[in-house]
Amino acid sequence: MKWLAPAKINLSLRVLGRRDDGFHELETLMVPLNLADELTLEPAAAVAPGGPASELVCSDPTLPTGLDNLAFKAAELFRARASIDLPPIRLGLQKNIPHGAGLGGGSSDAATVLLALNDHFSVGLSISELAAMAAELGSDVPFFVYRSAAVCRGRGERVQPTALPLSIPLLLLKPSFPVPTPWAYQRWARSRELPGVDYDPQTFGWGVMVNDLERPVFEKYLLLPEIKTWLRTQPEVAGALMSGSGSTMVAVLTEATAAESVVARAVERYGDLWTCACATV
């Protein structure tokens, strides 16, 4: 059986301050996309005594497949907490979401492993129990357990599912470089706005687009504010924003069929970009 691990974007991201535990207090509206990684489960061969009882195979050879991978960590955590003994399992992960992109691919993979194991082995954990487990893996992981747009607070682990009134057509553009999330948050407090770049909230019928992490990220990665500014001049684009800590830039399209023409002009102007026409779900 196949499970989908959807990407996300942050339609809004407010950083409210640094907490005593070293994390930052957030208020963010995150929404899942119809862009997704794909997860499969199958029995694994017998494992060595004392070794991990999970195995991960990933389509992206640059990603780790042991405890440095959140999906693998999720499988081992679930095994330790499950009320039944689970047989050895082999996880197959087809990566379609780029990493270092601000799209939550690793967090979504981890949450999907928890959901898949709970379902496949009929363990019977509730969504709230899975979300509490997910919070041990990372700040964004609980959001993906709910499979819904949500307002997330705290460090991201307090999830309040909500509904968007419509599906929003989007175009994602990512340069070849990633942005490390911890670095972006560390730079937030002392960052400044760049002259000529519009950081103001963009208001729509469904809500407001704004991202406080644009300030620190744009200071170092000057291509990103250039792309945002250019996108907002395109007639097919209603608004543009960086997702999460980047480096993906999100364009809200006036209509889904507009993506191809914007992509053609963006690639001509900026060269090598990963692009994806998608929508919120």
Cα 39-42-47 angle, rounded to 5 deg:
115
CA distance 270 to 41: 39
Q: Which residue's structure tokens are 């007639």?
A: 235
Token pair for residue 260? 């191809």
Strand order from edge to edge, sheet including 249-253: 237-242, 249-253, 169-174, 274-279
Q: At what angle do helices 70-81 and 127-135 cross, to 10 degrees?
A: 120
CA distance 24 to 186: 9
Active site residue 220: no
The C-alpha torsion from 67 through 72 and 74 to 80, rounded to 10°, is -80
Active site residue 198: no
Identified catalytic residue from 37, 73, 109, 140: 140
Cα 83 to chain centroid distance, Å, stands at 30
- Active site residue ranges: 8, 140
